[in-house]
Structure 1
Amino acid sequence: MSDKIKIGVSNKEGQLGFLSTKGGLREGAGRKSIGVTKKVSITLTEEIWEKLEEHCSSRQLSRSEALRHMLENYFSASHSEG
């Protein structure tokens, strides 16, 4: 059995999506969003980048997941007073 994959345009702002040969793009399919995505660039020392990579590797996290957790903890725990 050969499962073929096609690429099609989603209803969301021209984003590409994958289609199986037996169906189309389905609204609401896939991983649910946890918030708003904004792209940022950050400059850190090589030492901090290495520590971040070690942290991510040891916990099997992506950089985005690790940084999100750090920011959530920072803003909810130590700075919740305002």
Structure 2
Amino acid sequence: MKTEKIKLGVPDKEGQLSIMFSKGGPRKGAGRKGFGVTKKLSLTLSEELWETFERRANSLHISKSEMVREIMEAFFLTESGNKDVTSIAD
């Protein structure tokens, strides 16, 4: 069995301790960069509509978050008069 060296690190956030391997691991500035503000939203839909929504997201190979974002962008861009938006419902 191969053993790897580990070290304990104290990240910038106070009160957290992390175990870091000799290669890789959490680094400041690493990871996917955000492109907007994240806010949590609770949405109540009928079971049938949830199933339709999830099937559509799966068929497009996108997350539910991406699906909601595209629906909202299409709605607001169309509402503002931009007719170049293609609907994901096609």
TM-score normalised according to structure 1 size = 0.69
Matched-pair identity in %: 51
Between the aligned partners of 1:67 and 1:29, the Cα distance in structure 2 is 26
Between the aligned partners of 1:12 and 1:44, the Cα distance in structure 2 is 38
Between the aligned partners of 2:34 and 2:64, the Cα distance in structure 1 is 17
Q: Which residue in the other structure is 1:80 paired with?
A: 80
TM-score normalised according to structure 2 size = 0.64
State the aligned residue count.
80
RMSD, matched Cα: 3.5
Q: Which residue in the other structure is 2:43 paired with?
A: 42
Structure 2 counterparts to residues 1-82 of structure 1, below 5 A:
11=12, 19-22=20-23, 25-77=26-78, 79-80=79-80
Who wins on radius of gyration, i.e. which is larger?
A: 2
Between the aligned partners of 1:41 and 1:62, the Cα distance in structure 2 is 16
> Mind listing any 5+ residue stretches in structure 1 that lack a counterpart?
none
